[in-house]
């Protein structure tokens, strides 16, 4: 018999707000000393009260809109009770009865073609702290830095049917949420994690098989391996009766390449959900909704089409720019100033992106002012600064965001000399100082020109147009006797 795999994902996304969801502690503690980003509220001390961070709601609305969801104008927070040492209040504040967004949809594109994946709901919640196990001493430590970091949980319908589709779906979420600048979605940093629900059924059937949930996956390769393993285990159970499948939560051991039962699936009743009496309902009026809507970015596909059609960029260049919203914004700002999309795209791809790579920065970390870049491009294309010196100025702009290219060029003698007398003098001096090179060149050794050219360039500090310099130099050599 032929089987098909049915997969639904619960994806946790860390929102990129500055502070935590219910207190003013910093939400960014990557690499920080344990328990340095904490306060009585996120430590769940009795008597403290949560105050909802408005930015979290802003970002949740934005995310919901990017993922085609209906935004619920009234939503509530609920308590989900369970015990875990890194959850000091013994309940997690989440949204259960009325989440902020429902009924969304994203499109994915794989080798099987295009497919719509429906999103059941998105809810806001707080993250728990972390347990750090010290195996050597048989101890477990608790780090509460992550407690209270805002999360979105994005729950899909069981519309996915292969590891490839899961990967495409996660990539799509990442692209859209990064475009909206609400989350980093980097599995390796723990800012995107996912629970994978899997079942199998005979191909074409419209009833579902028993599902198992693999918790807390944080690498796409591990997810692929887990799906493959779990699918085979389910098919074996159904076909050969090797075991009786039960709805349960499982843990994936990537080293052993196997999944292990953790607990039989808890039901909603186990969590004793009830509305959190300390938090007011979240009411999003039209003004708030529209204000967020007005900040939504163009969708990646729309941008791509505009870059190729309106700006006439080659598809390849457009695609590279559209890899990151930060690149797109910088490019668009630069283009608005220099009014030459092809030039701006070239600078972005061959200079800005290369500099980012060289500095081991991700594209989204780009902080360069697009306006300043536009000015720089205009200086170079207007013949005021040479291309190599332009590159030097760009480096200075990366080092210090306040650098103005024109001021910097003037202060550092990087403006192309319009003083033809100076250029002539430099050429004559170079010729006089190296008669051998002159003779060699005249004798047919093309290479001899390089020495003279290099000397002049150095003398002029790169402030000249290389083609022009070359022409003038050859003319001057030919005049010697
Ligand atoms: P619970 O509340 O128990 O977590 P949900 O109905 O919210 O259950 O579903 C959780 C996730 O499991 C969703 O992403 C959903 O798409 C997925 N899911 C539900 N049924 C199945 C199934 N039979 N096979 C695979 N995934 C499923
Ligand atoms: Mg669930
Ligand atoms: Zn705090």
6 lines ligand 1 (CB under 6 A): yes
Give the pLDDT confidence score for residue 421 in this predicted structure: 81
Count of other CB atoms within 10 angstroms of residue 326:
20
Give the pLDDT confidence score for residue 270 in this predicted structure: 86
Out of 8, 212, 231, 248, give the residue to mutate to test ligand 1, the one with the largest number of ligand atoms within 8 Å of its CB. 8
Give the pLDDT confidence score for residue 7 in this predicted structure: 98
316 lines ligand 1 (CB under 6 A): no
196-238 pLDDT, tens digit per residue, is 999 999 998 999 999 999 999 999 999 999 999 999 999 999 9
Band (480; pLDDT cuts 50, 70, 90): confident
Strand-strand pairing, 248-253 and 212-217? parallel
10 lines ligand 1 (CB under 6 A): yes
Give the pLDDT confidence score for residue 228 in this predicted structure: 96
Q: What percent of the chain has pLDDT over 90?
A: 79
Closest ligand 1 atom to residue 266 Cα is: 3
- For the ranges 127-136, 145-154, 272-281, 418-427, which has the lowest average pLDDT? 418-427
Q: In the chain, count H helices and then E strands.
A: 16, 16
- Among 300, 295, 371, which residue's Cα sits nearest to residue 336? 371
481 Cα to the center of ligand 2, angstroms: 89
The residue count of the chain comes to 481
426-439 pLDDT, tens digit per residue, is 999 999 899 899 99
Band (466; pLDDT cuts 50, 70, 90): confident
180 lines ligand 1 (CB under 6 A): no
The span from the CA of 320 to the CA of 430, in Å, is 44
- Among 151, 183, 166, 169, which residue's Cα sits nearest to residue 325? 183
Task: Read off the pLDDT of each residue in 72-99 and give the average, rounded to a whole number.
Answer: 96
Task: Read off the pLDDT of each residue in 388-394 and give the average, rounded to a whole number.
Answer: 93
Query: Partners of 106 in the beta sheet?
Result: 117
**DSSP string for residues in 164-214:** HHHHHHHHHHHHHHHHTTSB---GGGTSEEEEEEEEEEETT--S----EEE
Closest-approaching ligand to the CA atom of 11:
1
Give the pLDDT confidence score for residue 362 in this predicted structure: 87
Closest-approaching ligand to the CA atom of 209:
1
Q: Are 169 and 9 in contact (CB under 8 A)?
A: yes
Closest ligand 1 atom to residue 9 Cα is: 14
- Which residues, including other chains, have CB under 8 Å from residue 82's CB and lie 6 or more apart? 90, 91, 92, 270, 271
Task: Read off the pLDDT of each residue in 161-183 and give the average, rounded to a whole number.
Answer: 96
372-389 pLDDT, tens digit per residue, is 999 999 999 988 898 989
Give the pLDDT confidence score for residue 54 in this predicted structure: 98
Distance, C-alpha 7 to centroid of its chain: 25
Q: Output the residue whose Cα is nearest ligand 1's atom 2.
A: 268
Q: Are 62 and 180 in contact (CB under 8 A)?
A: yes
Band (309; pLDDT cuts 50, 70, 90): very high
6 Cα to the center of ligand 1, angstroms: 10
Out of 11, 211, 266, give the residue to mutate to test ligand 1, the one with the largest number of ligand atoms within 8 Å of its CB. 211
401-413 pLDDT, tens digit per residue, is 899 999 999 999 8
Q: Output the residue whose Cα is nearest ligand 1's atom 19.
A: 158
Secondary structure letter of residue 440 according to DSSP: H
157 lines ligand 1 (CB under 6 A): yes
Give the pLDDT confidence score for residue 413 in this predicted structure: 85
Band (154; pLDDT cuts 50, 70, 90): very high
65 lines ligand 1 (CB under 6 A): no
Band (27; pLDDT cuts 50, 70, 90): very high
The span from the CA of 195 to the CA of 228, in Å, is 15
Closest-approaching ligand to the CA atom of 266:
1
Q: Output the residue whose Cα is nearest ligand 1's atom 24.
A: 199
Phi and psi, residue 466, nearest 5°:
-55, -40
The span from the CA of 335 to the CA of 311, in Å, is 10
Tokens of 386: 């040479």
117 lines ligand 1 (CB under 6 A): no
- Among 324, 350, 323, 344, which residue's Cα sits nearest to residue 332? 344
183-203 pLDDT, tens digit per residue, is 999 999 999 999 999 999 999
444 Cα to the center of ligand 2, angstroms: 79
The span from the CA of 304 to the CA of 317, in Å, is 10
Average pLDDT, the chain: 93
The span from the CA of 108 to the CA of 220, in Å, is 16
pLDDT for residue 268 is more than 80: no
Band (457; pLDDT cuts 50, 70, 90): confident
27 lines ligand 1 (CB under 6 A): no
Give the pLDDT confidence score for residue 265 in this predicted structure: 66
Give the pLDDT confidence score for residue 329 in this predicted structure: 94
Out of 155, 205, 214, 248, give the residue to mutate to test ligand 1, the one with the largest number of ligand atoms within 8 Å of its CB. 155
pLDDT for residue 126 is more than 70: yes
Secondary structure letter of residue 270 according to DSSP: G
Give the angle 346-347-352 at the CA atoms, nearest 5°: 125
Report the predicted TM-score, pTM, of the whole model to 2 decimal places. Answer: 0.85
Closest-approaching ligand to the CA atom of 38:
3
pLDDT for residue 419 is more than 80: no
- Which residues, including other chains, have CB under 8 Å from residue 216's CB and lie 6 or more apart? 193, 194, 195, 251
Q: To which H or E segment does residue 148 belong? A: none
pLDDT for residue 50 is more than 90: yes
Out of 6, 173, 197, 245, give the residue to mutate to test ligand 1, the one with the largest number of ligand atoms within 8 Å of its CB. 197
126 Cα to the center of ligand 3, angstroms: 11
7 lines ligand 1 (CB under 6 A): yes
Collapse the DSSP code of 131 into the 3-class scheme (helix H, G, I; strand E, B; otherwise coil) and give the result.
Answer: strand
């Amino acid at each position: 018999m032929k089987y098909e795999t049915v997969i639904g994902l619960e994806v946790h996304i860390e929102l990129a707000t500055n502070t935590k969801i219910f207190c003013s502690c910093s939400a960014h503690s990557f690499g920080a000393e344990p328990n340095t980003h904490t306060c009585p509220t996120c430590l769940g001390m009795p008597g403290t009260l949560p105050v909802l961070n408005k930015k979290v709601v802003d970002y949740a609305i934005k995310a919901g809109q990017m993922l085609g969801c209906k935004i619920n104008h009234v939503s509530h927070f609920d308590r989900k009770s369970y015990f875990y040492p890194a959850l000091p209040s013994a309940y997690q504040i989440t949204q259960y009865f009325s989440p902020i967004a429902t009924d969304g949809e994203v499109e994915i594109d794989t080798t099987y073609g295009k497919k719509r994946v429906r999103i059941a709901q998105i809810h806001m919640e707080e993250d728990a702290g972390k347990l750090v196990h010290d195996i050597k001493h048989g101890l477990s430590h608790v780090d509460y830095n992550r407690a209270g970091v805002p999360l979105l949980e994005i729950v899909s319908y069981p519309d996915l049917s292969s590891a490839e589709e899961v990967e495409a779906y996660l990539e799509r979420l990442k692209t859209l949420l990064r475009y909206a600048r609400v989350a980093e979605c980097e599995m390796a940093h723990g800012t995107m994690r996912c629970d994978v629900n899997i079942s199998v059924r005979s191909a074409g059937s419209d009833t579902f098989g028993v599902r198992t949930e693999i918790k807390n996956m944080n690498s796409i390769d591990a997810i692929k391996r887990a799906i493959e393993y779990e699918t085979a285990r389910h098919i074996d159970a159904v076909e050969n009766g090797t075991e009786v499948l039960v709805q349960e939560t499982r843990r994936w051991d990537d080293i052993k390449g196997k999944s292990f039962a953790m607990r039989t699936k808890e039901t909603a009743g186990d969590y004793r959900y009830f509305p959190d009496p300390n938090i007011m309902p979240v009411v999003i009026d039209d003004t708030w909704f529209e204000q967020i809507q007005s900040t939504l970015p163009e969708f990646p596909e729309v941008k791509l089409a505009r870059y190729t059609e309106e700006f006439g960029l080659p598809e390849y260049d457009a695609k590279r720019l559209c890899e990151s919203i930060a690149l797109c914004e910088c490019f668009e700002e630069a283009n608005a100033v220099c009014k030459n999309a092809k030039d701006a795209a070239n600078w972005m791809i061959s200079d800005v992106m290369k500099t980012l790579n060289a500095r081991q920065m991700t594209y989204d970390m780009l902080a360069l002012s697009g306006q300043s870049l536009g000015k720089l491009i205009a200086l170079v294309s207007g013949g005021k600064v040479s291309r190599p010196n332009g590159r030097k100025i760009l480096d200075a702009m990366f080092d210090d965001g306040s650098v103005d290219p024109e001021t910097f060029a003037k202060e550092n003698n990087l403006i192309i000399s319009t003083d033809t007398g100076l250029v002539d003098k430099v050429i004559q001096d170079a010729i006089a100082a190296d008669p051998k090179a002159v003779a060699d060149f005249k004798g047919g050794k093309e290479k001899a020109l390089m020495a003279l050219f290099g000397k002049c360039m150095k003398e002029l500090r790169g402030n000249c147009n290389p083609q022009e310099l070359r022409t003038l130099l050859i003319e001057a050599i030919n005049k010697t006797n």
